[in-house]
Chains A and B, each alone.
Chain A
Amino acid sequence: MGVPFIAVRGLLHSDILKHRPDLLVKENPFNSGEPVVVAQPIRPDVAVFHAVQADRWGNVITPGHRDDLMMARAARWVIVTAEEIVENKLTRRDAGDDTFLPAIDVDVVAHVPLGAHPGGFGSLSEHDDRHCREYIAAAKGESSFSVYLERYVYGVHGHQEYLERVDAATRQAKG
């Protein structure tokens, strides 16, 4: 929207206001005496999306009915990974029930099949509960988390090797 701030209902007398300098209580200029919360816009430096399809111009289809377009427009830099890069130019009509991000709102597109892992991705792949449990267990301590990061983030060259390590861990867990 590009507005300097926006008024929000509710939130008054919530402890959220004690910890969020971007939320202020002001008097409603159209109704004197009424306090109202105003919020500073969130302008992320980067937003990252995983898409069903993308084309070489940066047109993108993300799954389902979502707020992706709002988030893409809020961010200064938009990176999209996609299951598939298609040859033809994508249009709004190709999105059907899914969400269309036009090229003007997208900066970078990369081909990364299974890029949503360990998240599920519509009908294409299921949420990986086992890997999430491994992550949660590792995240409980500094040293176990370092081991996790070394195994799945710093110690792999690219997404393919990451997926191979996930597969190996899954096979090992199944015995």
Chain B
Amino acid sequence: MQRLVRQRDDPMAQTVDYTPEELMAVVISREVRDYETVGVGAVSPIPAAGCILAEQLHVPHVTLIILDSEEYYPFPAGSSELHFLAQRGDLDLFFLSGIQFDRRGNFNLHVIGDYNAPSVRMAGAYGSAMLYYMAHRVILFRAEHTRRIFVEQVDFVTGAGVTPENIYREGGPALLVTPKAVLAWDKAAGEWILDRVQPGSSVEDIRQNTGFDLRVSPSVHMTTPPTIRELHVLRTVVKEKLARSYPDFAREKILTV
């Protein structure tokens, strides 16, 4: 069995409780790099929180483009402009979710079951099948880590993880963040590998709740738990800014100081 190594112990953080959404937002915030142009789409409160947290803590020169936000949406003519920015190859980081993910980096935002007689029909791709290829890095996120979501093969490929060489692609999957795990994209192998175990979970727990045979990285380690400073800024400045676009999420998922 895989042994877990806790890379950096933060005894202070261990005394603090946090919600799964807060953990995911903190993990995402650490992935944002300074001077990047970062886009956040619709119905994405977790990455929106993570990006604003990153801006407040460690990437002062980041350009954040958050759809439906007064403060963080710079364009005058609507959501098409975020898509055109990505098509020009100028979007460094974007976030997508899905109703299914598989080992090969495919995600599904369309249907469960047969396309013509589905048991669940979602609203659809809304540009994600372009953004998944044209953003330099895409971080996938999902607040539920179960076998119904992590499947051997998605019922519908909204965006493909692996494409042939002759297809123009600026980037693609980079990470997949859940409350249990952080998966990293192995580009050479064309599959997800378990890179980090979130606090409270284990390699065994993750593999049990993943419907495909998940490879484990030789350097797998525990996520550094959210620090007091990260949680404090998340629960004050970020919570207040986020509440303007996502009042219910900010109130219910982000705790108060």
User: What is A's interface to B at a CB cutoff of 8 Å?
Assistant: 8-16, 18-19, 33-36, 65-70, 99
Contact = CB atoms under 8 A, between A and B. Distances in A.
Contacts of A12: 133, 160, 163, 167
5 contacts: A10-B133, A14-B125, A14-B160, A15-B115, A65-B73
Interface centre among A13, A18, A34, A68 (most CB of B within 10 A): A13
Contact of A9 (B125, B130, B159): B130
B131 interface: yes
A19 B115 contact: yes
Interface centre among A18, A65, A67 (most CB of B within 10 A): A65
Contact of A70 (B80, B125, B156): B80
Contacts of A33: 166
Contacts of B73: 65
B77 interface: yes
Contacts of A11: 129-130, 133
Interface in B182-201: none
B130 A65 contact: no
Interface centre among B79, B86, B134, B168 (most CB of A within 10 A): B168
A65 B110 CA distance: 27
B133 A70 contact: no
Q: Which 8 A-B pairs have the closest CB atoms?
A: A10-B130, A67-B78, A10-B133, A13-B160, A66-B78, A14-B129, A15-B157, A9-B87
Nearest to A31: B168
B167 A13 contact: yes
Given A14-B129, A15-B158, A9 B168 contact: yes
A18 B168 CA distance: 20
B35 interface: no
Contacts of A35: 166-167
A16 B158 CA distance: 6
Given A16-B129, A36-B168, A10 B115 contact: no
A10 B134 contact: yes
Interface in B154-189: 156-160, 163-164, 166-169
Contacts of A13: 157, 160, 163-164, 167
A14 B167 contact: no
B127 to A, nearest CB: 9
B163 A65 contact: no
A9 B78 contact: no
A144 to B, nearest CB: 18
Interface centre among A10, A11, A99 (most CB of B within 10 A): A10
A9 B171 CA distance: 12
Interface centre among B80, B129, B166 (most CB of A within 10 A): B129
B225 to A, nearest CB: 34
Nearest to A13: B160
B196 to A, nearest CB: 28
Contacts of B125: 14, 16
Nearest to A18: B115
Contact of A14 (B78, B134, B158): B158
B249 interface: no
Given A10-B134, A12-B160, A70-B80, 17 more contacts: A9-B87, A10-B129, A10-B130, A13-B157, A15-B110, A16-B129, A16-B158, A34-B167, A35-B166, A35-B167, A66-B77, A66-B79, A67-B79, A69-B77, A70-B77, A70-B78, A99-B78
